[in-house]
Structure 1
Amino acid sequence: MASAVSSTTPPPAQRAGYRHLLRTPGAWTFLLPGFAARQPFAMLTISIVLLLRHTTGSYGLAGAVAAVTGVSMALFAPQSGKLADRHGQSAVLVPGVLLHAAAAALLTALALAHAPLWALIAAAVPTGASVPQVGPMVRARWAAALGDGAVGDGAPGGSGPRSGRHPLLATAAAFESVTDELTFVIGPVLATGLSTGVHPASGLIAEAALTLVGGLLFAAQRRTAPPLGAARADTRKRPASALSVPGVRVLAVAFLGVGSVFGGMQVALTAFAQEHGQPGLNGVLYGVFAAGNMLAGVACGAIAWRTSPRRRLLTSYAALTLVCATLWAVPAPLPLGGLGLLAGLCIAPALITGYTLVEALVPATSRTEAFTWLTGSVALGQAAAVTAAGQLADGFGASAAFTVPLVGTAPALLTVVSLRARITPRGVSTAVRHEQPTADTHNGSLQTADTA
């Protein structure tokens, strides 16, 4: 691993950028299969909703089954992350992706056979529980490839980020955030297009296939996996659970609200398109919403921020809540698409800064688990929102379903504002320098900027 670090450390005169990051030895061997294997998180819920809406005719029932999947994912994801930290990623991924493919195939067969609700729910539990947590695993691999010891892993009670941080770690964080947003651009649009244009079950089938192939290929890249020896030697720094860190709990609440936007928008946009007699419009509207996420994600890695991540989180979350407060009143597709774009533009900064803060709040030995608590929170919020939005869409129409994102983000915003001191790492004041990659318009590389 030492050779990888030395070979990827930029010379003093060179700016640490995406181009240099992607030259990290072995990076592409886990990036490409990892991208395929992380699609389930973005495809699963909407695929289930579209399939069961077709077979049952009810958004409420479809939302309930999708919610069980999301809750199961949220409950099991942190345990998967903890096991990966302790026993290795391949040991968790291989049986996980096999189980997920089998469970998703069973759920598809039961839905097409018009099985009773209890059977659908029984199949939804293992389907959600086995979703691979590839995004957190990729982040852990970047840290290992670039020198885990240099990561700013200020444990609770510790001294915060270290000054010897590898210059490409901030670039890797921005790159992964953009990749997450790209997943939410491609995944739901792909699932919607397949389910509405090919067959109602094809979205869920494609999700299972991507999980299986991508997950096995990712697990096979053992040379880039975080070394277990270092993690075990650092056990004394590991908290009993990453959720025991107060800042992680605050961020988990924030990510619950973000999940409510994803889930509420998926169901509400589907109902909106149906009410207007244009089912295919759902994919377009959600694509605009997801494109906002992607554009904002790219911008967050290209702007020379002069504010702290905590302030950016508060600002973007307040803006997201404001946009969500207006969704229910929009009667036409064009203005709804504009508001969806604005909502997407607000989500990406909130997610990116949340993940950035986690890296400084927990030690490296618990980082995968901490990331999975956040992704699990998104899944849990998404599950609750899908259920609520489905019931509201059935009973009162799409406008009522659009109130769900506001109900999720408003209390989360109040929580984050009132407990904002918890998301500042101990020993790090809000005026401490924070490394953030910024774009160089001349050569496409990045440079480091200080933020207050």
Structure 2
Amino acid sequence: MASTVSIGNGYGQLLRTRGAWTYLLPGFAARQPFAMLTISIVLLVQHTTGSYGAAGAVAAVTGVSMALFAPWSGRLADRHGQRAVLIPGVLGHTASGLTLTALALAHAPLWALFAAAVPTGASVPHIGPMVRARWGVTLKGSPLLTTAAAFESVTDELTFVVGPLLATALCTTVNPAAGLVTEASLTLLGGLLFAARKSTQPPVAAAGHARVEHASALRVPGVRVLIVAFLGIGSVFGGMQVSLAAFTESLGEPGLNGVLYGTFAAGNMLSGLVCGALAWRTAPQQRLVVGYGALALTASGLWAAHSVLVLAGLGLLVGMCIAPALITGYTLVESLVPAGARTEAFTWLTGAVALGQAAAVTAAGQLEDHLWGGSGFLVPMGGTLLALATLLALRSRLAVRPRSRTVARGVGHRVPVAVD
């Protein structure tokens, strides 16, 4: 059960937080890689090779690299500060992204595209977790933290509305490479401006506290359960991107790809706005299970849609089910993980989305190449159903317990962590 609170008061008060806009605006630009990168790679490589399988494979290498390096990047940001990680990251991402673009246009062999995809994914700046960490410091102990989590989810989803639409429009009407070039440019500009805002950066723990505060977030059992849930969410993003592109191309209307994906992302954004304006009375782990059940149910119907209108309607419903799961997951991190490991925890979750997306674009690309049109939509169904089964089996690990000075590390092991 929930009772509504004023949207204007909650979000308005949040956005009046001193210094917030100085990092929110450049952060929005620097978030674009997560929304534009995969679809830009798929459209460019499919154009140059003629294969969705090859396009999905290159995008998957990028996504896997992004997922593997995300927690490491978050851990370094917790220990050494966001600026120290962000500046070399955005410079490296810009260079490697442009290299991948040039190789694809030159019809380089697949192994060369894979080689360029690795640093492109590894260097993606994880701005979302960094912004969430800044909110955590700015609003420490404030009831606006839940509103901030909702606002960040809405911002992420707005990115997923703008990013795919922009990338698709650029790739289909300007040049197949325009999406990646724009993505690299936004990363460079937004990332450097965001890094310049040193005053809002979370403080780096003193050396004497490093061993305590920086115990890995992955040692928290609830974080591992959330990672599985976010892998399933990633399978929806990846499966939708490839399958919608294949579906609209089969109709001879590739420009509809961005519209359909934007409809899906718009549902996500709108439900995120509503979630942020509700005062929930149920426990967050219960909301996560119920919301995830709705996500799995709606995603399971995508493969049966054979018209643009039906697919748009189902995509809207699927999108509306994603935001509650994302918001609840990020809210649980605030309760489950010590402050000194939260950036890392957030990057584990965003990395899980990237990894799920990478696996999904590969699987969906192969299905679209070798089976019937629309078979790639089986991937979101399978991913969400498996994640839901895991949530149901391990939901007790998401229960928020009183913070002690230890965090469980498997059976019979304890690792000291600092109390917030």
Structures share fold, TM-score greater than 0.5:
yes
Aligned twin of 2:227: 252
Indicate if the aligned counterparts of 2:128 and 2:156 stay in contact, CA closer than 8 A: yes
Q: Distance in 1 between matches of 2:262 and 2:383?
A: 22
Aligned twin of 2:253: 278
Of 247-256 and 396-405, deviating more is 396-405
Indicate if the aligned counterparts of 1:289 and 1:341 stay in contact, CA closer than 8 A: yes
Aligned twin of 1:310: 285
Counterpart of 1:172, as a letter, is A
Gaps of 5+ in 1: 1-14, 151-164, 429-452
Aligned twin of 2:300: 325
How far the C-alpha of 1:69 sits from its partner, in A, is 0.1
Aligned twin of 1:223: 199
Aligned twin of 2:402: 427
Aligned twin of 2:4: none
Secondary structure in structure 1 of the residue aligned to 2:278: coil
How far the C-alpha of 1:75 sits from its partner, in A, is 0.2
Is 1:75 the counterpart of 2:51? The answer is no
Indicate if the aligned counterparts of 2:64 and 2:355 stay in contact, CA closer than 8 A: yes
Match of 1:65 among 52, 58, 62: 58
Aligned twin of 2:175: 199
Secondary structure in structure 2 of the residue aligned to 1:124: helix
Indicate if the aligned counterparts of 1:269 and 1:398 stay in contact, CA closer than 8 A: no
- Summarize the Cα distance change of 1:16–1:336 in structure 2 as closer, same or farther, 3 Å threshold: closer
Q: Distance in 2 between matches of 1:95 and 1:362?
A: 27
Match of 2:132 among 136, 139, 152: 139
Secondary structure in structure 1 of the residue aligned to 2:270: helix
Aligned twin of 1:378: 353
Of 232-241 and 265-274, deviating more is 232-241
Q: Distance in 1 between matches of 2:373 and 2:322?
A: 22
Aligned twin of 2:165: 189
What is the correspondence of 1:24-423 to structure 2 with a 5 Å cutoff? 24-146=17-139, 150=140, 165-229=141-205, 232=207, 234-235=209-210, 237-238=212-213, 240-423=215-398
Q: Distance in 2 between matches of 1:349 and 1:127?
A: 30
Indicate if the aligned counterparts of 1:297 and 1:348 stay in contact, CA closer than 8 A: yes
Q: Distance in 1 between matches of 2:231 and 2:46?
A: 25
What TM-score do you get using the length of structure 1 for normalisation? 0.85
Q: Distance in 2 between matches of 1:349 and 1:172?
A: 14
- Summarize the Cα distance change of 1:202–1:397 in structure 2 as closer, same or farther, 3 Å threshold: farther
Indicate if the aligned counterparts of 1:318 and 1:413 stay in contact, CA closer than 8 A: yes
Indicate if the aligned counterparts of 2:79 and 2:214 stay in contact, CA closer than 8 A: no
Q: Any idea what the Cα deviations from partners look like across 1:201-247, whole Å, max 9, x if unmatched? A: 101111100000000000011111011146x5543543531111110
What TM-score do you get using the length of structure 2 for normalisation? 0.92
Q: Distance in 2 between matches of 1:266 and 1:172?
A: 28
Q: Distance in 1 between matches of 2:320 and 2:16?
A: 29
Indicate if the aligned counterparts of 1:330 and 1:336 stay in contact, CA closer than 8 A: yes
How far the C-alpha of 1:404 sits from its partner, in A, is 0.6
Indicate if the aligned counterparts of 1:234 and 1:365 stay in contact, CA closer than 8 A: no
Q: Any idea what the Cα deviations from partners look like across 1:130-151, whole Å, max 9, x if unmatched? A: 00010000011112223xxx4x
Secondary structure in structure 2 of the residue aligned to 1:307: coil
Indicate if the aligned counterparts of 1:237 and 1:363 stay in contact, CA closer than 8 A: no
How far the C-alpha of 1:304 sits from its partner, in A, is 2.9
Q: Distance in 2 between matches of 1:57 and 1:128?
A: 23
Aligned twin of 1:433: none
Match of 2:13 among 5, 12, 20: 20
Percent sequence identity over aligned pairs: 71
How far the C-alpha of 1:174 sits from its partner, in A, is 1.9
Q: Distance in 2 between matches of 1:138 and 1:81?
A: 12
Aligned twin of 2:413: none
Secondary structure in structure 2 of the residue aligned to 1:226: coil
